[in-house]
Structure 1
Amino acid sequence: MPPIETSLTLLILWAVLGYLLGSVPFGMVLARAMNLGNLREIGSGNIGATNVLRTGSKKAAAATLLLDGGKGAAVALLARYLTGEDAAQIAGLMAFLGHCYPVWLRFRGGKGVATFLGLLLALAWPVGVACCLTWLVAALWKRMSSFAAITAAAMSTIWVILLGQGQIFLLAAILTLLVYWRHRSNIARIRAGTEPKIGQK
């Protein structure tokens, strides 16, 4: 974590902005706009790109992935440019929490993987690239988005150390724990051998 140099008022402002932007449920918005149905009644009921893919629309899934990743990256980069690194990390963390626990959906949000990867790309792009590649390799291996997600999260702090990006170590560690918490039911299904594959309706 970088030194806290920004005033408490500004940090609170960025935290609120990060949460509000992060809480925009792009998956549900796109599904409704493209007449793909109610995501709560499809597949896992999740609002993320993996579940959007289960509607059969690759375009909607790709757009959801980009928007969910972009919202965290956008607010973090804006906070960094206008205020500083401490504000960027606070805004990014709150964007992740907003995605997972959006007030608009009674705090029932997504798993946060795209937002997690978007944040890493924005705040320390070498780590972000390494985690994206880790996700890709794990996904190709097991054909399970959840397995790829927890693998990428588990490797994130290792990549932080190996790539010399210690300024985001604490943030990466917190995000990793949150990713695992959000995937606890998926982890149980992986162990039981009942976790659905990528693209499975």
Structure 2
Amino acid sequence: MIENSPALLMGAIAFLSYLLGSVPFGLVLTALSGEGDIRKVGSGNIGATNVLRTGRKDLAAATLALDAVKGAVAVAIAWVMTPPDMGAQAMCVAAVFAVLGHCFPLWLGFKGGKGVATGLGAVMALSWPAGLAGCAVWLLGAKLTRISSAGALLAFAVMPLVLMALAGFSFSASPKPLAGVLIAVLIFVRHHANIVRLLNGTEPRIGK
């Protein structure tokens, strides 16, 4: 049985989390609402920020919420599927693979979103203090800079630090700090073009 094999169980959790994370809610919602293919709008990204460029704030909000929920649900499913002694590790695997699925979905040619909402939802499920800190930094950073990507990058720079602090700055005490770092790496990789524009001072501001 799969529950008697930790490796198989972790593999199943990783696979299911990847599949859940790769559901492209931005693409689905814009198509169902008659807004067409979101990949042909703005940056071509399937996330909430690009959905907002259609002028549909309701679709953008729904995309943001659903992308965050799928990250949290993946972590919750992992918690339910595993015995207590494997719970933390399984939840961290689920969090990382949910973000990986969103960023690199198989059925979209591995061209997905940037993982911000899904990452926030996953971290919130792993540790609500770290998740709340990330949300606060994201909102504050975006408000002060008027640049969405700046807020997101600041949030994912802070959340691993919060996870580390909660674990006593020890990677051996809990797998959560490592999961936070891996998720942050994915987010920064997906924002490589944004980082270049930020450094050049050409990153678009919110509303423009």
1:27 aligns with 2:26: yes
> Which 4+ runs in 1 deviate beyond 6 A?
none
Tell me what 1:133 maps to.
Answer: 136
Identity %: 48
In the TM superposition, residue 142 of structure 1 has moved relative to its aligned partner by 0.8
Matched positions, count? 196
Match of 1:108 in 2: 111
Deviation (angstroms), 1:82: 2.4
Secondary structure of 1:109's counterpart equals coil
Identify the residue that residue 60 of structure 1 maps to in structure 2.
59
1:80-124, CA deviations, whole angstroms, 9 ceiling, x for partnerless residues? 122122111111211110000001100000000001100111010
Amino acid at match of 1:24: V
- Shifted more, 154-163 versus 14-23: the winner is 154-163
TM-score, normalised via structure 2 length: 0.90
Question: Could you tell me which residue of structure 2 aligns to residue 9 of structure 1?
Answer: 8
Is the counterpart of residue 198 in structure 1 residue 206 in structure 2?
yes
CA drift of 1:199 comes to 3.4
Q: Which residue in 2 is equivalent to 1:36? A: 35
Q: Could you give the per-residue CA deviations for residues 139-179 of structure 1, whole angstroms, max 9, x where no partner exists?
A: 00111111111111111122223444763100001111111
Instruction: Give the Cα separation in 2 of the matches to 1:102 and 1:82.
Output: 23
Matched, 1:81 2:80: yes
In structure 2, relative to structure 1, the CA distance for the partners of 1:29 and 1:199 (3 Å cut) is: farther
Asked whether the 8 Å contact 2:167–2:177 carries over to 1, the reply is no
Aligned residue for 1:35, secondary structure, equals coil
Shift of 1:191: 1.5
1:174 aligns with 2:182: yes
What is the identity, as a one-letter code, of the residue corresponding to 2:21?
Answer: G
Question: Given the two structures, how large is their TM-score scaled by the length of structure 1?
Answer: 0.93
Gap runs ≥5 in structure 1:
none
Query: What does residue 47 of structure 1 align with?
Result: 46
